Amino acid sequence: MAKKTFSIANISCGHCVMAIKNELNELDGIKSVEGNPEAKSIDVEWDAPITEDKIIETLKEINYPAA
């Protein structure tokens, strides 16, 4: 299992975190998504077949690009 903290500059509230969680949890292989609006970051745990590149691509597609 892989785990990474992604910095997301345009997270402004809990609703942003929830939108990100909802989108990422639809991807096959995502184990958990936790967010912190104050730190403007999310912690993601995943297994194959999902990849870090696909997570980054998905964040960009939903207008929450990782820094």
Domains of the chain and CATH, by start:
2-61 (3.30.70.100)
Query: Average pLDDT of each block of 10 consecutive residues along the chain (67 residues)?
Result: 97 97 98 97 98 98 97
End-to-end alpha carbon distance in the chain = 22
pLDDT at 10: 95
Q: What is the DSSP string of 2-48?
A: EEEEEE-TT--SHHHHHHHHHHHTTSTTEEEEEEETTTTEEEEEE-T
Whole-prediction pTM value?
Answer: 0.94
Residues facing residue 7 across a β-bridge:
41
With the C-alpha atoms ordered 13, 62, 6, 43, is the resulting torsion angle positive or negative?
positive
